Amino acid sequence: MHYHSEGKIPQKRHTQFRQPNGTLYSEELFSTEGFHDKYSILYHINPPTRITQVGDPIDVAPVKASNKELKHRCLNGFKVAPVDDYLESRKVVLFNNDCRMSLAAPKTGTRDYYFKNADCDEVIFIHKGSGTLQTNYGILKFSYGDYVVVPRGTIYQINFDTEDNRLLIVESTAPITTPQRYRSEYGQLMEHSPFCERDIVKPTLPEPIDERGNFKFFIKKKDKLYPYEYLDHPFDVVGWDGYHYPYIFSIHNFEPITGRVHQPPPVHQTFDTKGFVICSFVPRLYDYHPLSIPAPYFHSNIDSDEVLYYVDGDFMSRKHVEQGMITLHPGGIPHGPHPGTIEKSIGAKGTEELAVMVDTFSPLFMTKDAVSIEDPSYYKSWLD
């Protein structure tokens, strides 16, 4: 991300910066890759370290299903039942050492506690619902189609406007970035990128909250939730600056790249990490070669597992697609359009499909929660 500043900061970092009463503000450097990668510096009214109580950890490690078959799979995501609490609503369905993919249908948010994921960066895709993410960097208002990108270690509360919410949450053990090929040597998104800095929504810092109390936290570390209580309100930041902060990018602002013939999946790439990429399939015109076949060709993704999360629209290469459906096409076996869809696509001018794709470079494991919503006959759907 590019440089951004909010609130009040001193002219020089690591120098005296005093409150109106003469006491120093507490400077906090925030970075997740040591001291050599991007970072931000935050200025607190109170020290961010005053813990009053620590509780016993809660194990939240995903439970791997004992399913051994190598086959294509389909999960009916909207069968995940709504749950009142935000953290309890997050159900991991697919995972490996690099990522966790969860479905969630929270009715409420985190009104009486704060959450920090110290394991992973998070991408929270808003399929249904709207609301507010309040962080120590400020406030972000989200709605349908938003990717809410939260760097690990960010303290946040999330709250929704109604009880009807559906989320896809992708966690990454490595930093989530924009693809290097979209950026110049100076870090600026280039002309051929499918989005630019104007599309990035940054947090707005409200007035700081200077309060004492017993502020309840859940900190996720090594697949455990650690309950903490802090003396000071976490949103006491008067200002910050840097390159490291939560932000929103809407899938509706992704500009599709098209061509005379069918374009490969990398043209849809939106984010990348060391262990996987995230792509956005959005409404677009089809190929314009006179003999083009809009439907994708059959392909063998030998070195990656391909996950597609269906959001909205009519998918010309798939039959019986529903909102919230997840397909997993594991590396090692080919996949592609369903029977009849190739011929049907010829002559079509465009598509209104909307989907999120995650391609992982290591095999994914299903969880018991995934098995409970699986369509076990999906692997036969290529039969006439």
Give domain limits for the chain.
4-52+208-240, 80-111+120-204+246-251, 256-371
| pLDDT for the residue 316 | 66
Helix (H), strand (E) at residue 354: strand 354-360
pLDDT tens digits, one per residue of 292-326: 998 888 988 788 999 999 999 877 666 678 899 99
Which whole number is the average pLDDT over 275-287? 95
Answer whether 277's CB lies under 8 Å from 303's CB: no
Whether the per-residue pLDDT at 44 is higher than 70: the answer is yes
Q: Show the beta-strand stretches assigned E in 113-263.
A: 114-117, 121-128, 131-135, 138-142, 146-150, 155-160, 166-172, 212-221, 224-232, 237-242, 247-250
Token pair listed for 347: 């002559």
What fold is seen in the domain 256-371?
Answer: Jelly Rolls (2.60.120)
What is d(CA 360, CA 171) in angstroms, rounded to the nearest whole number? 12
Taking the alpha carbons at both ends of the chain, their separation in whole angstroms is: 47
| pLDDT for the residue 357 | 96
pTM of the prediction?
0.95
Token pair listed for 178: 């924009």
CATH of domain 80-111+120-204+246-251: 2.60.120.10
The chain-wide mean pLDDT, for the chain, equals 93
| pLDDT for the residue 375 | 93
| pLDDT for the residue 300 | 85
- Answer yes or no: same fold for 80-111+120-204+246-251 and 256-371: yes
Which whole number is the average pLDDT over 29-54? 92
